[in-house]
Amino acid sequence: MTNLHQLEHLLALDEERHFAKAAHKVHLSQPAFSRSIQALEKQTGLLLFERKGGEIRPTPAGQFLIQRARILVLEAKSLKRDIGLYQQGEVGELVFGVGPFPAATLAGQAIEKIRLEFPRVSVRVEIDNPAKLLSLLLKEEIDFFVADTGEVNAAPYLNIQPLMRQYGHLYARSQHPLAGQAHRFEAAWEYGIASVKLPDMLKAGLGQLLGQNSRNLPQLALECDDVNLLHQIALSTNTIVASTELAAKTWLDKGTLVKLDIIDFPPLFSNIAIVNLSSRSPSPATTYAIEQFKQLV
């Protein structure tokens, strides 16, 4: 009969696509790990993985089982965690993630309120792009995350709560050569664009504005997920920063940064949402933290 450990081994092999690495990940010898996968295939009567060109890939049957195994493993871990919460009455650590723009605009106020309400709870914040944060959430290494969810696909095991929309533009220092006049995006590109790490789909859109071949994605002058650092570079050089109105507000109010008039630049926005696992019962600190983010908008 299939057990939870075998399903964890299945997921490990899907993530690593390498028997030795997957075995190491679940703390088994490679022979023992291989026997576990073979036993699972025998029990289900399905071929779950195949080798093509030296690469290990899940078969359609393997993908079918992997999708269901992920939900079962998440629920089992959630049950174990919930029992611990019930026994202890509280948790000692709160771990959540934020994307680059929420980190620059929302996280500071939320963390301040969390520290005041739960001074004995250790808070750890992961700042990264949405794809990395989703990976951490599925591994249950964070309790929730707040980020742009444009690239996050809906799934039964995810609870996605829309929070706000942040509109993006191109900004430059007030004395920039392009400031105060209308220009095309190609002129801005010549000075170098700084931005958070962009998905390939968005880079392809920039390439179209530049008339470039869609097969060759344009390379930004600077990619960095530290939004405040991007603004600092724009203030001290002619580099143009792609940011949001909310993230750039401090410098816009001072007049040190200005919004450029780029006539062919399409409207951009970031749909910020709170994402957590639907099967996982939140701790009191997690519930409070999520509520603080909601109250900021």
pTM of the model: 0.71
Q: Which fold has domain 166-269?
A: D-Maltodextrin-Binding Protein; domain 2 (3.40.190)
Alpha-carbon span 194 to 145, nearest angstrom: 24
Tokens of 55: 């690469």
Q: Looking at the predicted structure, is the pLDDT value of residue 99 above 50? A: yes
- At 206 the three-state DSSP class reads helix
Tokens of 99: 């994307």
Q: Which residue has the tokens 């088994």?
A: 28
Which distant-in-sequence residues (6+ apart) come within 8 Å of 202 by Cβ?
none
Q: Which residue has the tokens 């599925």?
A: 138
DSSP3 helix / strand / coil % (the chain, rounded to 5): 45, 25, 30
Write down the pLDDT at residue 51.
83
Per-residue model confidence as pLDDT tens digits over 224-247: 999 999 999 999 999 999 999 999
Confidence of residue 86 (pLDDT cuts 50, 70, 90): very low
- Report the pLDDT averaged over residues 98-110: 96
On average, the pLDDT of the chain sits at: 90
Tokens of 111: 């963390």
Per-residue model confidence as pLDDT tens digits over 37-57: 999 989 999 899 998 877 889
Write down the pLDDT at residue 84.
67
Beta bridge partners of 273: 147, 162
Write down the pLDDT at residue 281.
82
Q: In the chain, what are the domain boundaries?
A: 4-86, 91-165+271-295, 166-269
Q: Please count the residues of the chain.
A: 297
Tokens of 117: 């309400």
Q: Looking at the predicted structure, is the pLDDT value of residue 285 above 90? A: no
4-86 and 91-165+271-295 share one fold: no
Write down the pLDDT at residue 90.
54
Per-residue model confidence as pLDDT tens digits over 157-178: 999 999 999 999 999 999 999 9
Q: Looking at the predicted structure, is the pLDDT value of residue 122 above 70? A: yes
CA 281 to chain centre: 21
Q: Looking at the predicted structure, is the pLDDT value of residue 215 above 80? A: no
Write down the pLDDT at residue 1.
64
Read off the DSSP letter of residue 174.
T
Alpha-carbon span 120 to 177, nearest angstrom: 51
CATH number of 91-165+271-295: 3.40.190.10
Q: Looking at the predicted structure, is the pLDDT value of residue 223 above 90? A: yes
The yes or no reply on domain 4-86 and CATH 1.20.120.450 is: no
- Report the pLDDT averaged over residues 53-81: 86
Helix (H) or strand (E) holding 237: none
Per-residue model confidence as pLDDT tens digits over 125-135: 999 999 999 99
